[in-house]
Amino acid sequence: MSADPKIRAISSLSDSQQRNLRNACKHMDGLLKEIEAALDPTHTNSAFPKYINDITPVQRKTIEEYLARFRTQLLRILAGQAIQVEEPRIKASHAVHTSLTFIEIAIEELSPSRMRGYGPVSEAGAADLNKVMQDLQSIVKGLHNYVLQSNLPSQSQPANDSAAVRISTTPRRRDRR
């Protein structure tokens, strides 16, 4: 084993400590992603932007350089403790499918019967809510149908794709006791 602590073949940490160090580094990397999102709020087409772009291009470049240095250091620390960086385990197609399912559930929460929990819903209000739901569902179901039918690697296709869409997009009713 080398005397140089930067080049260590065996970790000086227990398995639990290694796991905690890896998780802390992963969490810090997630926070760096949030900083990157704040640096370029135009990177997303969000209907509800979160950040005001008040960072100059020069400031942005400098911050990005620091972020890169920090990430490099995170990887060096893990390597110095012989901790492997986990490979990605979630397929993008699965993440899209899951997010679309949650969007469909959120749309169902806009139904007149559910909105009555916030006060009486007039007939006009119910008609408006039904229209809102219909408009949103038509787009999301179209996208979800595309995802399910496009033979993305993580999607196993049942014989009847339209049934798969109906089954996968029908949110489960939650018991509200």
Reading the block at residue 143, the tokens are: 């996208």
Secondary structure letter of residue 174 according to DSSP = P
Q: Residue 1: its pLDDT value, please?
A: 37
Q: And the tokens for 109?
A: 């929460």
List per-block mean pLDDT (blocks of 10 residues) for the chain, which spans 177 residues. 50 89 95 91 81 91 96 95 91 92 96 95 96 96 88 47 40 41
The whole-angstrom separation of Cα 6 and Cα 97 is 42
Contacts of 70 (CB under 8 A, 6+ apart): 28, 32
pLDDT at 174: 43
Question: So what's the pLDDT on residue 118?
Answer: 95
Closest CA to 6 of 78, 68, 86: 78
pLDDT at 9: 57
Q: At what angle do helices 15-39 and 57-80 cross, to 10 degrees?
A: 170
For the whole prediction, is pTM greater than 0.85? no
CB atoms within 10 A of CB 172: 7
Tell me the CA end-to-end span of the chain in Å, nearest whole number: 62
| 3-state percent breakdown (helix, strand, coil) of the chain, nearest 5 | 65, 0, 35
Give the pair of three-digit tokens for residue 67: 């972020």
Q: Residue 2 has what pLDDT?
A: 39
Predicted local distance difference test score (pLDDT) of residue 149: 85
- pLDDT for the residue numbered 177: 35
**100 and 154 Cβ atoms separated by less than 8 Å:** no
